[in-house]
Amino acid sequence: MPKGSNQKLKLYRLAQIMLENTDDDHYITMPEIMSALEAYEVTADRRTIYADLKDLEALGIEVEGEPVGGGYRYHVVERPFELPELKLLVDAIQSSKFITERKTNALIRKLEKLVSKYEAMKLQRQVYVSGRIKTMNESIYYTVDTIHNAISENRKIRFQYFQWNVKKEMELRHDGAYYHISPWGLSWDAENYYLIGYDSEAGKIKHYRVDKMLRLQMSDEKREGKEHFKKLDMADYAKKSFGMFGGREEKVKLLVENTLAGVIIDRFGKDIMLIPSDEEHFTVNVDVHVSTQFFGWIISLGERVKILGPEEVVAQMKEEIQRLARQYS
């Protein structure tokens, strides 16, 4: 029998056909495989295709055949990702404010290629459930990559930083002056990506929204602030900062209703000590960055949480309440 045409592409096309058209619930027969290969202008006989299906295992694609009627049907039995795992990744991408709408759709289309066309439809349906606000800064992916490279090469970065004005226009902060920061890590908090770095001029650790950085470049200068970051637990830093707003770090004592035990544990972790106060309340000491966002969090929990100390923080809480009362009087 004459050798089929486009033989160099046969194994690649066979892998493509099996991955796109089969899964645990969808199978393909040998005549269907041959027909699909012909659509790609690849011709082959059954005998060589049987051998090729076995060869796919060398590419990490395991194909299983099972008898049906007078022949066999085939499907891919294992993939790098299961459908529930990909759904989880799709949800994470959609809920991430720092990923633009265009990039969200592009990433999901790439994830769809990891499953059959039938399972891909289940991922596509999820694209439309999200009406969440997304960043408009398309360069964020290159920004993140540059930050990681700067960290690995122990170098500073420089960038401009912007905010939105009432005209919905980008407005450069510090009159467009460049920020010179030593990057030490990235944190994902409240659906946003933050750079955590050392500001040598201010002599302290600061954080910046990555999607609000512009014209970021790697500097030739070596990073500074290593001694500060030796003492810093990145996860702990994010936990103490409400909405990643800075503030003076304080150990604050709270009186909390028992029903909010889960809320406190979710926020501060299981390592904190909940000390019974009475039958309905407990006290807890937590490290926080005292800010208006922290006070807002306390207010949102209503009468079920009260700040007991230190006195300075209690006084600040009272001032914030009075300010709100004046604002709405």
- Check pLDDT > 80 for residue 103: yes
Residue in the structure block whose two tokens are 């993140």:
144
Give me the mean pLDDT over the 139-152 stretch.
88
What does the DSSP assignment read for 13-29? HHHHHHHHH-BTTB-EE
In 3D space, the residue among 178, 181, 211 whose CA is nearest the CA of residue 194 turns out to be 211
The CATH code of the domain at 7-76 is 1.10.10.10
**215-248 pLDDT per residue, tens:** 999 999 999 998 888 776 666 666 555 554 556 7
CB 267 within 8 A of CB 293: no
- Report the percentage of the chain scoring pLDDT > 90: 48
**48-100 pLDDT per residue, tens:** 999 999 999 888 899 999 998 888 999 999 888 888 899 888 878 877 777 77
What does the DSSP assignment read for 62-106? -EEEEEETTEEEEEE---SS-HHHHHHHHHHHHH-TTS-HHHHHH
- Report the percentage of the chain scoring pLDDT > 70: 88
Compute the half-sphere exposure of residue 53: CA atoms within 13 Å on the CB side of its CA.
23
Domain boundaries, the chain: 7-76, 83-127, 140-232, 242-327
CATH topology of domain 140-232: SH3 type barrels. (2.30.30)
Give me the mean pLDDT over the 164-174 stretch.
82
Rounded to whole angstroms, the Cα distance separating 145 from 139 reads 10
**171-194 pLDDT per residue, tens:** 999 999 999 999 998 887 666 788
CB 179 within 8 A of CB 161: yes
Give me the mean pLDDT over the 308-317 stretch.
95
Per CATH, the architecture of 242-327 is what? 2-Layer Sandwich (3.30)
Residue-level pLDDT at 239: 58
Residue-level pLDDT at 11: 92
Residue-level pLDDT at 161: 93
pTM (2 d.p.): 0.57
Rounded to whole angstroms, the Cα distance separating 183 from 199 reads 9
Helix (H, G, I), strand (E, B) or coil at 267: helix
Rounded to whole angstroms, the Cα distance separating 87 from 123 reads 6
